[in-house]
Chains A and B, each alone.
Chain A
Amino acid sequence: MILMTEPFTTLTATVFPLPVENIDTDRVIPARFLKTTTRDGLGKYLFTDWLPAGLPPDRGAVLAAGANFGCGSSREHAAWAIRDAGFRAVISSRFADIFRVNALNNGLLPVQVSPRFLARLFDLLDQRPDAPVTIDLAARVVRFEGEEELFDIPAYKQQCLLKGLDDIDYLLSIRQQIEHH
């Protein structure tokens, strides 16, 4: 295996809140910015039509969004743009399936929490926008001021992120097994 991305172990960072449900990937990055042949430099288009003023420089490294985040188009550009804008994790009470996979494949950790936990996080950020959250991937725990919750991640993907490894070398290593299909 080769090193894909910086490993993700424990992250303590401030949060950029988007308390809106059903944020689709067209809203994350509109289709007209997909005319690129590289993965880089898409952060400047993140939420560009929706938040024309742009994201604040002190936006933190964690995005928190309402339920069904990343629904719609399968464009991996959404995960690339979020990552390129400096985010390492997204917290939501539900992720769209394709976005979740795309995020995991790019070292962006989707942290799915209960609606109650998410509501409390938004409440706290309302009062104290600079309140940090801590995400401990090995323990699969997310916490902020007196609140703590376990989150799910497939064991294989957890190891990939903890070690910064990627899938393709693994798939190449089992080519003989694949030959039989």
Chain B
Amino acid sequence: MKTLFDKIWDAHVVEQLPGGTHVLYIDRHYIHEVTSPQAFDGIQRRGVPVFRPRQTIAIPDHNIPTLDQHLPVADPLSRAQLDALARNCDRYGITLYPVGSPRNGIVHVVGPESGLTLPGMTVVCGDSHTSTHGALGCVAFGIGTSEVEMTLASQCILQPKPLVMNVRVEGTLPPGTCSKDLILHAIARLGTSAGAGHFIQFDGPAIRALSIEARMTVCNMSIEMGARGGMIAPDDVTIEYLKARPTPPSPADIERWRELRDDPDARFHAAFTLHAGEVLPMITYGTHPGTAIPVDGRVPDDADRQMLAYTGFEPGERVAGKKIDHVFLGSCTNGRIEDLRAFTAIVKGKKKHPRVTAWIVPGSKQVERQAVDEGLRDTLADAGFQLRQPGCSACLAMNDDKIPAGHYCVSTSNRNFEGRQGPGARTLLAGPLVAAAAAVTGEIRDPRELT
């Protein structure tokens, strides 16, 4: 009567401490330049080695530039973090995919596409969007730097075991909508802390119909529902995806992965059902991801006034037609090749609106290469868009990709918090289709009107 989450978690418990704290063994550990230096300092001060360096992969992504990556990084503070990561990897024998190298990119894009994240694993990274990897049927979640240090020192962390929630999505997504619209719909319905203390298992026909990349978008934003992480049990779609990775799985691997599912009588601590047929193209008007509404909708009359003062919307205002200044396509939420294809399909044969500054940032070097090979870069260029180089970019604006104060940015990222994309920046979260419609019209527009 175990859930899939229970099975994977329980198989990785080394020891249970009094009061419900578990010593959890970690199979795959990703690190990046921003949340790891203090952890390496810690093990150095203690004089202990990295316990199992081959299980950690280092990928700088948070503060790297998205243009001219062949040049030295100009910002001395960013450079110091990148240098520290390279030094630490060298010293402790950890594999590093440096900036500009063929396997660099956003850690949550690179890990799955490289076949480093596999079903049944425990996966951690000092980044909350580690939940993304759950799309492959693993237990993946974000940790703090103290836990990065624990993982380096012992390949384990101390954690209370989360409860398990089932979110089932019935039906079929309507044409003109995508999995980003689905997860924004889910967060708006269930709230930003519905998942607190829980791991979410997504299931149901609408989830099963999604590609692995689309599933990653859903699992990615489970943290925005307050959950520790999200996951989807492996199926044929998962196995086909993994067969296409650089190191294809063995028949024994595949057989093992097919066993990764709930017991028939598995019990969930909480369960919700959503209907994909109700999903519309979505956009947020406020400063948390629970404020998503359909693009043809109105700001609720009872919306928080302080929030509206920041974002510059009026209660009852129609969001369609609102003029916007920036568009950001990218991030670990929507920076994969399918997202670039979806965006390009809408802007093809049109022109970027002159008011709009658009940053098209592939999630990885592989996505960038693919975009070139498939001709997407040229199609984008014809429409007035430049394909940049991979990185986290304007999702959290640690590098130069910052939205100016007061400007509106339709962003395919995951957080619209005050100041997230730069002090005073006004973030409107949406999927790649709504972002594309905004990029060519200069306003919030239903993408279904353009196709």
Contact = CB atoms under 8 A, between A and B. Distances in A.
Interface string B124-142: 0011100000000000001
B154 interface: yes
Given A76-B35, A172-B48, A50 B418 contact: yes
Given A35-B75, A49-B423, A171-B158, A98 B128 contact: yes
Interface in B242-286: none
A171 B417 contact: no
Contacts of B126: 74, 76
Interface string A37-76: 1110000000001100000000000000001100111111
Contacts, number: 169
A130 interface: no
A168 B46 contact: yes
Nearest to B20: A154
A168 B196 contact: no
A36 B77 contact: yes
Interface residues of B, number: 63
Contact of B146 (A22, A76, A158, A181): A76
A13 interface: no
A178 B144 contact: no
Interface string A83-123: 00000000000101110011001100000000000000000
Interface of B: 12, 14-15, 17-21, 23, 25, 34-35, 37-38, 41-42, 46, 48, 51, 62-63, 75, 77-78, 80-81, 84, 126-128, 142-147, 149-150, 153-156, 158-160, 162, 192-193, 196-197, 223, 226, 228, 288, 396-398, 415, 417-420, 423
27 contacts: A22-B192, A31-B398, A34-B398, A35-B34, A35-B81, A37-B38, A37-B81, A39-B145, A49-B419, A50-B419, A72-B128, A72-B415, A73-B127, A73-B396, A73-B415, A74-B127, A76-B144, A76-B145, A76-B146, A101-B143, A102-B146, A154-B17, A156-B17, A157-B21, A170-B158, A171-B158, A178-B14
Interface of A: 22, 24, 26-27, 30-32, 34-39, 49-50, 67-68, 71-76, 79, 94, 96-98, 101-102, 105-106, 154-158, 167-168, 170-172, 174-175, 177-178, 181
